[in-house]
Structure 1
Amino acid sequence: MLVDLRIILKFLSYIYGFFAVLRRLIYEKGLIKKKKLPVYTISVGNLSVGGTGKTPFTIYLSKLLKNKNKKVVVLSRGYKRKSKEKIIICDNDKTFSDCGDEPYLIFKNGINVVVSSDRYKAGLKAKNIFNPDIFILDDGFQHFQLHRDLNILMVDATKPFWKDNLLPYGRLREPASFYKYADIIIITKTQALQEKKLKDLEGYLKSLNKPYFFAKERFSHIVDKDGNIYDFSFFKDKKVIAFAGLGNNKQFFDIVKRYFNVEKFIEFPDHFDYKDYKFEKDKIYITTEKDLIKINQENIFAIKYEIFCDKEFEELINGIIN
């Protein structure tokens, strides 16, 4: 008789959870000392795998701080990058293959980015080159090796961590109770919720006794590979093919349906590099900026997607950094 796969996954999640808790506590209890960078350090991360909007939020937060006359450097591990260099300074001579697609997209938005699996050494090098006022750790909630002065936890409103399970049974990297290590909680993708679910969500958030803010989404325009801007009306009478390689492609496809006449959806794995994929030249394609930076073809466009928060969040950050 075959054992139910869910029972196996549930059992494995207990083992995974034991080691996740152990690893966290080793650093939190000081059994292994955290390294501290000589600059104020903010972590942006989450408890779950998959897309919660960390990259667009990191871009927003970096620009917010820059507008406050703060010099910002983002430190990223460069997930799935192809380069073997230990520390990479993202610049115009690099590509997404060198830096990783998300760090490269952050750099393309005018933000200094340094990539390394050792973010302490990357930070020291960045300090010498850029002399920043603030470091932002991209996807840093589980990067215990490095001290952070402010922990920002991102939560997908459609898949909140308190309704999820540990890997591999669910999507959680750490137990849901570890939200307690966050200083601020940012909720994304609330636009997809009905009013009752939004009220239930807010009720639960209040019980966590943490400052929380609902992020807002903005789809302002369309861009091509050269950064040229197009209004949505430019595509009004055109059929398009939508594709993406994200942690949650469905959410992107739901957005595309609002604005375009879509003849087909093509789904790729997260961080897909499109190296050997052939796009038809007589078709119009719509994708994300994260995907567009990997493709050099005239008939492919991306929706400019931005996350931002209200003035209360900006005032809180301003009070913290000054």
Structure 2
Amino acid sequence: MTPALNAKDGVSVRLIEKVWFKNHQAKYWLVPLLLPITGLFYLISLVRRLAFRLGLLKSYKVAAPVIVVGNISVGGNGKTPVVIHLVELAKTLGLKPGVISRGYGSQADIYPYLLDEKSTSYQAGDEPLLIYQRCNIPVVIGADRVANAEKLIEHGCNIVISDDGLQHYRLQRDLELVIIDAKRLFGNGLLLPAGPLREGTWRLKEADLIIYNGNNSDHTKQLVSKPLFMTLAGCELIQVTTGEKMLLPDFIQQWQIVNAIAGIGEPQRFFDTLQTLGFDLATQQGFIDHKNFTVNDFVEFKADLPLLMTEKDAVKCRGFAQKNWWYLPVSAQFSEQDKDVLIQSINSFKV
């Protein structure tokens, strides 16, 4: 079953994604229509990069190492699980990490905004709240990433991890990690809005580490000599409101047939994961990324079946979730060799 998308959530968004990633026939009229805007986007991006390189626009170095985890394309590539993985690695190395984020869709009263136990997804955005609740470390959001980083340092952090912000050149960085969806790759290879790219694939050569979410080694060898590879894995389901946990085999033994929703960059990835784990999906519904859910979005799901969602969706549904709503937390998994590369990179910052 193909994930549905409500018209109110923007069918045009799904159409453009089909043009970008699925070679939809609309490309024959939509791409030519958008190419002039793409040319303008390229010019603005080029001038901006040159301005930073020539010192016409000032960049700032803060008093702690900065790791940027970003991508060159739009959509969910797996940045947040990598950020969480880096946080945990930094902790094991004796560092005090903090995370900064733009906080897409957030409505805080003041910025930079430091999350606390009372923060909501409305104030902070879904991904920052997820990171804060999962990692229990300082998280600061706001458009000014330099100010965000400085606020983290004020609160005792000695390493800053930026969730996204690869193109935010105002903040100097000590390490760049670019995350790539190995399935969707770079779509049609064009810059926004005719394609999904914020910057061309040439940008990969400037990054310190390239991490592929999934494995597409035939393609990676053409662009990156030594990429890292990760997979996303989960072993349990957690009830959205109570926090009750069940191991996947035990859950599947009781409820193999389930409903599923996902409001992420690539909803089908989540649905495919559930089916790979052994679930049969009675109904699946895909929503736009960063969807602000209301109870009305769930009226069509059968109450006699569990409803499974991503952790990112769950942080926005706790206020009205039902007892049969569960989420699947996932973690980034690396080979020992690739994990050592990450550890060595972080270790290089220790004094």
The TM-score, its normalising length taken from structure 1, stands at 0.90
Corresponding position of 2:104: 79
Is the contact made by 1:166 and 1:173 (CA closer than 8 Å) also made in structure 2?
yes
Corresponding position of 1:224: 239
Give the total of aligned pairs. Answer: 309
Is the contact made by 1:76 and 1:139 (CA closer than 8 Å) also made in structure 2?
yes
Is the contact made by 2:191 and 2:198 (CA closer than 8 Å) also made in structure 1?
yes
| Cα separation, 2, equivalents of 1:278 and 1:174 | 35
Q: Does 2:349 align with 1:321?
A: yes
Trace 1:165-176 onto structure 2 (pairs within 5 A): 165-176=190-201
Query: Which of residues 204, 214, 218 is equivalent to 2:222?
Result: 204
Is the contact made by 2:81 and 2:330 (CA closer than 8 Å) also made in structure 1?
yes
CA RMSD of aligned residues (A): 1.9
| Cα separation, 2, equivalents of 1:317 and 1:257 | 31
Is the contact made by 2:138 and 2:152 (CA closer than 8 Å) also made in structure 1?
no
Secondary structure at the counterpart of residue 321 of structure 1: coil
Is the contact made by 1:218 and 1:306 (CA closer than 8 Å) also made in structure 2?
yes
Is the contact made by 2:101 and 2:162 (CA closer than 8 Å) also made in structure 1?
yes
Unmatched segments (≥5 aa) in structure 2 = 1-27
Secondary structure at the counterpart of residue 84 of structure 2: helix
| Cα separation, 1, equivalents of 2:295 and 2:331 | 29
Is the contact made by 2:101 and 2:142 (CA closer than 8 Å) also made in structure 1?
yes
Corresponding position of 1:235: 252
| Cα separation, 2, equivalents of 1:265 and 1:162 | 24
| Cα separation, 2, equivalents of 1:102 and 1:288 | 11
Is the contact made by 2:187 and 2:195 (CA closer than 8 Å) also made in structure 1?
no
Is the contact made by 1:217 and 1:306 (CA closer than 8 Å) also made in structure 2?
yes
- Report how far residue 62 of structure 1 moved: 0.7
Query: Which of residues 127, 145, 148 is equivalent to 2:153?
Result: 127
- Report how far residue 251 of structure 1 moved: 1.1
Amino acid at match of 2:247: D
Corresponding position of 1:249: 267
Corresponding position of 1:269: 288
Q: Which moved more, 1:148-157 or 1:281-290?
A: 281-290
Secondary structure at the counterpart of residue 277 of structure 1: helix
Is the contact made by 2:89 and 2:343 (CA closer than 8 Å) also made in structure 1?
no
Amino acid at match of 1:248: E
Query: Which of residues 111, 116, 128 is equivalent to 2:142?
Result: 116
Corresponding position of 2:305: 283
- Name the CA shift for 1:202/1:268 in 2 (closer, same or farther; >3 Å): closer
Q: Which moved more, 1:214-223 or 1:288-297?
A: 214-223
Secondary structure at the counterpart of residue 91 of structure 1: coil
The percent of aligned pairs where both chains have the same amino acid is 31
The TM-score, its normalising length taken from structure 2, stands at 0.83
Is the contact made by 1:186 and 1:213 (CA closer than 8 Å) also made in structure 2?
yes
Per-residue CA deviations over 1:194-232 (Å, capped at 9, x if unaligned) read xxxx34124214xx44x4201122121111123321122
| Cα separation, 1, equivalents of 2:297 and 2:178 | 38
- Name the CA shift for 1:9/1:219 in 2 (closer, same or farther; >3 Å): same
Secondary structure at the counterpart of residue 330 of structure 2: strand
Secondary structure at the counterpart of residue 235 of structure 2: strand
Corresponding position of 1:293: 315
- Report how far residue 102 of structure 1 moved: 0.2
- Report how far residue 84 of structure 1 moved: 3.2
Corresponding position of 1:164: 189
Is the contact made by 1:83 and 1:98 (CA closer than 8 Å) also made in structure 2?
yes
- Report how far residue 276 of structure 1 moved: 4.5
Corresponding position of 1:70: 95
Per-residue CA deviations over 1:160-212 (Å, capped at 9, x if unaligned) read 2385211111100112212232111011022xxxxxxx34124214xx44x42
| Cα separation, 1, equivalents of 2:237 and 2:125 | 23
Trace 1:27-66 onto structure 2 (pairs within 5 A): 27-66=52-91
Secondary structure at the counterpart of residue 180 of structure 2: strand
Query: Which of residues 328, 337, 347 is equivalent to 1:303?
Result: 328
Is the contact made by 1:21 and 1:174 (CA closer than 8 Å) also made in structure 2?
no
Secondary structure at the counterpart of residue 329 of structure 2: strand
